[in-house]
Amino acid sequence: MNGPQTLAQKLVARAAGKSQVTPGEIVNCRVDLAMFHDSSGPRRLKPMLEALGAKIWDPSRVVLVMDHYVPERDDDSRRIVRIAREWAREQALPHVYDSQGICHVVVPQHGHIRPGMFCVGGDSHSPTGGAFGAYMFGIGATEMLGVVVTGEIWLRVPGTIRMQWDGRLGPGVVAKDMMLHMTGRFGMNGGQYQAVEFCGSAVQALGMAERMTLSNMSAELGAQAGLIAPDATTMEWLAAHGAPPVDIAGLATDDGAIASPDCETHRFDAVALEPYVAAPHSPANARGVTHYAGTPVDVAYIGACTGAKLEDLRAAAQVLRGQRVAAGVRLMVAPASLKDQEAARVEGVLQALLDAGAELFPTACGACAGYGETMADNTTVISSTARNFKGRMGSPTAQVYLASPYTVAASALRGVISDPREVLP
């Protein structure tokens, strides 16, 4: 009889074709989905595959997204995107999303990631897939070469760190604040390349977009995967996005596994959480918003996979509707996907942001990846992105603070870093 297992162990065991696995064990896993983008994919994989004379093991299990170098702005970006488009045609890839938005949002929005799957991505924020009860993590180009040729990858079975959030978040406080709080407490190596599992009543109360933010930023904790057990919320979202139904029975951490030495639990009070801000130049430089309140800002950026989904745009509009951003502040809005942008347009959310003075930018990684309209010298930025490393968003002299869309919008409104709870209607 099998012993109790964590959600991570169950997902890895399923991919390895075993009844159960033990943390520390090395296993070979079958890959259900391999995702890469214009930066991480064809320009690196094409020459390696040609040198080996190898083919993709199963094109139907590959998803390619053009999101880093679009829209093309120079010869280098045109070359990179051209390689991706030509290779996609050569390989007859059935799942290609060109200039549709950011991969971590576009791929699940098209029903590709489902509970129980084992997935890899050519991007460090690939753990986003864990929000759907899938085991998903980021890998480099050489590892991806092995995957696209064999359909398999080896894995050291991780231990689990449970982040249990009790209660419910208050108004103006969201998943981004939870993540900045955890990153500030544990640091960027706090996940120790383990599987972080987010659980508790506050997590269960979150919609899928917010859960995606949690799983996405498990990368900022140094985790391999960021998991949330699938439930009715998961299944309703997937059904609405065209995914086939799956059986989620048993896809949760067993009670008996929680007491295991390979499973540690940290508990948090969601009710007491305040909005959080991370100061330059690390997500781990995070403290409550009151520590940075009053800091003047030049740019407020609402973009990226952690800060520009429909729910994020709604949050910003809730703060800014009927008002104007402070004089001298530039509000940049880059929706995470065309689907989210169109929904925001239909709801009037986008118009509320534009009326407040926002500039609309393409649905791509953009400034978060240091591409397109980036941050100028000596500017102070408050951003809804996941990272604020020196020079990442442009000039190395730019000072980038991280915050939730609520806090970014409130800061744009006042011209200084502000607690959104003070301005929410």
CB of 238 closer than 8 Å to CB of 114: yes
Nearby residues of 417 by Cβ (< 8 Å), 6 or more positions away: 277, 289, 292, 293, 294, 295, 297, 382, 401, 403, 407, 411
Q: Which amino acid is at 336?
A: A
Residues 187 and 327 in one domain: no
- E-assigned strand segments in 38-121: 62-66, 96-98, 118-121
Q: Judge whether 346 lies within some domain.
A: yes
- Assess whether pLDDT exceeds 80 at residue 191: no
Residues 288 and 239 in one domain: no
In this prediction, residue 1 has a pLDDT band, given cuts at 50, 70 and 90, of low
Residues 117 and 178 in one domain: yes
Mean pLDDT of the chain: 96
Residues 23 and 163 in one domain: yes
Give per-residue pLDDT as tens, 92-134. Answer: 999 999 999 999 999 999 999 999 999 999 999 999 999 999 9
Residues 314 and 235 in one domain: no
Q: Judge whether 254 lies within some domain.
A: no
Residues 130 and 217 in one domain: yes
Give per-residue pLDDT as tens, 314-365. Answer: 999 999 999 999 999 999 999 999 999 999 999 999 999 999 999 999 999 9
Residues 99 and 239 in one domain: yes
**What's the CA gap between 8 and 71, in Å, rounded?**
37
Give per-residue pLDDT as tens, 351-406. Answer: 999 999 999 999 999 999 999 889 999 999 999 999 999 999 999 999 999 999 99
Of 93-102, 225-234, 241-250, 278-287, which range is least confident? 241-250
In this prediction, residue 304 has a pLDDT band, given cuts at 50, 70 and 90, of very high
Q: Judge whether 398 lies within some domain.
A: yes
Q: Judge whether 344 lies within some domain.
A: yes
**What's the CA gap between 33 and 21, in Å, rounded?**
21
CB of 406 closer than 8 Å to CB of 320: no
- pLDDT of amino acid 425: 86
Nearby residues of 53 by Cβ (< 8 Å), 6 or more positions away: none
Residues 100 and 200 in one domain: yes
Instruction: Locate 108 and state its tokens.
Output: 């699940």
- Assess whether pLDDT exceeds 90 at residue 190: no
Residues 235 and 293 in one domain: no
Residues 170 and 38 in one domain: yes
The rounded percent of the chain whose pLDDT value lies above 70 is 100
Domain of 285, in residue numbers:
278-419
Q: Judge whether 302 lies within some domain.
A: yes
Q: Judge whether 262 lies within some domain.
A: no
Of 9-18, 78-87, 182-191, 228-237, which range is least confident? 182-191
Q: Please count the structural domains in the chain.
A: 2
Residues 144 and 239 in one domain: yes
Question: What region, left, alpha or beta, does residue 169 occupy, with left being phi > 0 and alpha being psi -120 to 50 degrees?
Answer: beta
Q: Judge whether 94 lies within some domain.
A: yes
Q: Judge whether 181 lies within some domain.
A: yes
Q: What is the CATH number of the domain that holds 332?
A: 3.30.499.10
Residues 90 and 236 in one domain: yes
